[in-house]
Amino acid sequence: MKTVCINCSPKKQFCASAYFLMLQRLFVGGKKVTEKLRTPADHARILEQLKDAQAVVFGVPLYVDGIPSHVLRFLEEMEVFCKENDLHPSVYCIANNGFIEGKQNEPLMQSFEHFCTRAGLTWGGGVGIGGGVMLNVTRILFLVDIGLLLLNTVLSVVNTGNFFPKSAWISFGENAALLLYFNLGVLFYLARMGSAIRKNTCSGKKYTRILIPSFIFILFADLFFIIISFFEGGLFRGWLARKKIEQ
Ligand X SMILES: Cc1cc2nc3c(=O)[nH]c(=O)nc-3n(C[C@H](O)[C@H](O)[C@H](O)COP(=O)(O)O)c2cc1C
For the chain, the 3-state helix, strand and coil shares in percent, each to the nearest 5, are 55, 15, 25
Smallest distance from ligand X to CB 66, Å: 8
Q: Taking CB under 6 A as the rule, does residue 217 contact ligand X? A: no
Nearest alpha-carbon partner for 5 in 40, 39, 54: 54
Measured over the CA atoms of residue 124, residue 37, residue 217 and residue 26, the dihedral's sign is positive
Which one, of 99, 69, 45, lies nearest residue 209 by Cα?
A: 99
For residue 117, give Cα distances in angstroms to 37, 92, 110: 22, 13, 11
Instruction: Give the interface segment with ligand X, choosing from 32-40, 95-103, 115-123, 197-205 (CB under 6 A).
Output: 95-103
Confirm if 33 and 2 have CB atoms less than 8 A apart.
yes
Task: Give the binding-site size for ligand X (rule: CB under 6 A).
Answer: 17
| Among positions 98, 122, 212, 214, the unique one binding ligand X when judged by CB under 6 A | 98
Q: What minimum distance in Å lies between the beta carbon of 134 and ligand X? A: 9
Name the minimum Å distance from CB 47 to ligand X. Answer: 21
Contacting range for ligand X; rule: CB under 6 A; set: 12-20, 80-88, 192-200, 232-240: 12-20
Residue 212 neighbours by CB under 8 Å, 6+ apart: 131, 134, 182
Residue nearer to ligand X on the CB measure, 81 or 136: 136
d(CA 16, CA 202): 24
The nearest distance, CB 154 to ligand X, in angstroms, is 34
Report if residue 111 touches ligand X, rule: CB under 6 A.
no
Tell me whether residue 16 or residue 46 sits nearer to ligand X (CB atom).
16
Min dist CB 109 to ligand X, Å, is: 14
Residues 6+ apart with CB under 8 A from 49: 4, 33, 35
For position 220 contacting ligand X by CB under 6 A, the verdict is: no
Q: Which of residues 125-144 bind ligand X (CB under 6 A)?
A: 132-133
Residue 103 contacts by C-beta under 8 Å, 6 or more apart in sequence? 128, 130, 207
Binding flag, residue 102, ligand X (CB under 6 A): no
Query: Applying CB under 6 A, does 24 fall inside the site for ligand X?
Result: no
Across the beta sheet with 55-61, what order do the strands follow? 31-36, 2-7, 55-61, 90-96, 122-130, 205-209
Which of 41, 64, 177, 240 lies at the binding interface for ligand X (CB under 6 A)? 64
> Judged by CB under 6 A, does residue 99 bind ligand X?
yes
Residue 64 CB, nearest distance to ligand X (Å)? Answer: 5
Where do contacts with ligand X occur on this chain (CB under 6 A)? 9, 11, 15-17, 61-65, 96-99, 104, 132-133
